[in-house]
Structure 1
Amino acid sequence: MIDWQYFPKSDEAPEIAHSVVAAFVEASGRIDSFAFELPSNEALAEVCGQLLEAGFEVETGKKKSQKILVPVLFGLNGRPEKSFEADAYHRQEQFVLEVEAGRAVVNNQFLKDLFQACMMHGVKYLGIAVRKKYRNSNDFERVIRFIDTLYASSRIRLPLQGILIIGY
């Protein structure tokens, strides 16, 4: 079963977030972390078709031509000087999606995803999909608690309009 939480909790999730959730719901029988231990790229591959239908560009491999690059800094003549990779990106809706597996919490990958999304040009929304079961941990619940604390505190203001966390 797919669970999700949108932040800030005071806002309704936008339609594009519902499209992302629908992709995971459709693939839930193939990616459920209680039944499968898929690497993140395999989980992404299972939702790829639905994401493409929703208008996302999706990473399809490790070659440079298969990666999705989102600019961060612009240099001479307006050319991108620094970019970060994203698993999927919807340019029109300004939504970037990262799909994580085992290292989402253990290696704090979700924090790197958050930082990079905050730096990306043309990104208003971030989606992070994490496993609900990884070893003896529910990574989804741990990420939710962290993001909830981030929004409850007034110490940091994020440049994003919203964050979607999906547990698969």
Structure 2
Amino acid sequence: MNFPSWSYFPRNTRPPEWANQFVEVVASARPSIETAPVRAEDAERLTSDTVLAYIREPLEAIGYTVEGGKKADQKIRRPVLFGENGVASVNYEIDAFHDDLGIAVEVEAGRGAMGNAEYRDIVRTSLLLDARFMVLMLPITYRYAQTQTDAYARTRDLLTAIYASDRLHLPFEGVLLIGY
């Protein structure tokens, strides 16, 4: 199996070079983040913070600002709305951002797989100023207790439907979905 699994949307657009670079970064972390096949010993351990930690340095090397931890000064906050005196009044936290290319990155694990966080990520990232592209990373397979879900495939089907329909238009030039 190729690792990682990935899809670029819209389907009628060639993936840009930055997408290939991002996929290479994720591929380099394969031994630490691969979720399929599911290994029982890894089922409870892999969090989105863990995955982000494995790809942080290589992403920073290619121009991304990456969340460094859970403390306020380690988080990445991007503006959504501005209020009085031009001060950002609404900001959303994201996992990484590439300022020059306008790429917003969200990495999910258990919550994304089991709690439909991909919907929240798509909507909130759509509201970020300067976000021209979105990268959304989800486990190929996530297992919790006796439950298993194919988070990547489910989100791929969602994005396929969104881009095939005329009912909902995302504000991105493209979305890179990665299954790790």
Q: Same fold (TM over 0.5)?
A: yes
From the CA coordinates, give the structure whose radius of gyration is larger: 2
Supply the RMSD in Å over aligned alpha carbons: 1.0
Does residue 137 of structure 1 match 2:145? no
Q: What secondary structure, in the 3-state scheme, does the structure 1 residue paired with 2:26 have?
A: helix
Q: CA deviation at 1:28?
A: 0.9
- Residue identity opposite 1:129 in structure 2: M
Match of 2:176 in 1: 164
TM-score, L = length of structure 2: 0.90
| Cα offsets for 1:4-23 (capped at 9, x unmatched) | 00000101111222221111
Structure 1: stretches of 5+ with no match in the other structure: none
Match of 1:13 in 2: 15
Q: Counterparts of 1:117 and 1:53 in 2: how far apart (Å)?
A: 23
| Cα offsets for 1:44-81 (capped at 9, x unmatched) | 00000110011000001111100001100011221111
Match of 2:6 in 1: 4
Q: What secondary structure, in the 3-state scheme, does the structure 1 residue paired with 2:8 have?
A: strand
Q: Counterparts of 1:78 and 1:17 in 2: how far apart (Å)?
A: 33
Q: What secondary structure, in the 3-state scheme, does the structure 2 residue paired with 1:72 have?
A: strand
Is the 1:105–1:143 Cα contact (8 Å) retained in structure 2? Answer: no
Q: 1:127 aligns with which of 132, 135, 155?
A: 135
Q: How does 1:1-168 map to 2 (within 5 A)?
A: 1-34=3-36, 35=39, 36-37=42-43, 38-135=46-143, 136-168=148-180
TM-score, L = length of structure 1: 0.96
* Residues matched between the structures, number: 168
Q: What secondary structure, in the 3-state scheme, does the structure 2 residue paired with 1:157 have?
A: coil
- Residue identity opposite 2:151 in structure 1: D
Is the 2:113–2:150 Cα contact (8 Å) retained in structure 1? Answer: no
